[in-house]
Amino acid sequence: MSSSRPSRDALVATARESIARGSKSFGLASRLFDRTTRERAWLLYAWCRACDDLADGQDHGGTLHAVGDPAARIAAIRSLTARALDGEWVGEASFDGLRVLLSDVPIPRALIEDHIAGFALDAEGWRPRTEGDLIRYCYHVAGTVGRMMALLMDVAPDDADTLERAEHLGLAFQLANIARDVREDAEGGRCYLPGEWLEEHDGERETIAILTRRLAGLAAGYEASARVGARRLPFRSRWAVLAAAGIYGDIAREVARRGTAALDSRVVISRRAKLAWVVRAFRQAL
């Protein structure tokens, strides 16, 4: 075990920098939490971001590209995470932050391992065959994060319905991201559109746009479910969750609205629109 023990404040500060670089949307929404929940959310995000970057060879996201020995990268993620879970100071801020987070919130180890399994699917070159396959993938990479977020917002571990609705918010976010990033994913050698969907169409731009609208429709359904669960959260958490739901929901809605034009340039939600959701979500939270 390392004898170097970083301070909580230093780890939180690093996590805050990570979310500011990696996700302006979630970074903005996270500031609506109370301080304790906000810091927990930053620590969780930093670990998820570090795993994602390690798996894909990126630095807080960016253009996808092939990486050498992807299996070794997944093994490294599992090793660093296991050491943090076992109470060791790893020497990597994002993983040490996870260790600190777990001292506050008893996140089940199985949930953390489920999240890493999503990165392993990408490393294996996995592609979904059915809509069910797609949803299972979204569970691993984002639904698990929704459940972990609910736990750090002090949702009871036995509150199965609220945890499921938190998972649904993660699914909605991931489906929106997939709908937005179809072209970029294809350029990076990935495809998250189910094979059965693609077989129903000819792969032309117009039909790909039909499939991205289908993704947006799925995202809307899960967003609606998540909003029901948000009613059970404390006010500040409810405000933050509803703001994030609105911002990410706008991504899916804009992809659907643009049709084939959404394949030409990445859908971006303006800062003004995000701030509008902060105000709207405040009213909804009331």
User: What are the pLDDT digits (tens) for 79-89?
Assistant: 999 999 999 99
**Is residue 64 pLDDT above 70, yes or no?**
no
The 3 state secondary structure assigned to the chain is: CCCCCCCHHHHHHHHHHHHHHHCHHHHHHHCCCCHHHHHHHHHHHHHHHHHHHHHHCCCCCCCCCCCCCHHHHHHHHHHHHHHHHCCCCCCCHHHHHHHHHHHHCCCCHHHHHHHHHHHHHHHCCCCCCCHHHHHHHHHHHHHHHHHHHHHHCCCCCCCHHHHHHHHHHHHHHHHHHHHHCHHHHHHCCCCCCCHHHHHCCCCCHHHHHHHHHHHHHHHHHHHHHHHHHHCCCCHHHHHHHHHHHHHHHHHHHHHHHHHHHHHCCCCCCCHHHHHHHHHHHHHHHC
pLDDT at residue 67 in the model: 73
Q: Which domains does the chain have, with CATH numbers?
A: 1-106 (no CATH), 127-286 (1.10.600.10)
Q: What is the mean pLDDT of residues 6-22?
A: 95
More confident residue, 58 or 25: 25
**Is residue 65 pLDDT above 70, yes or no?**
no
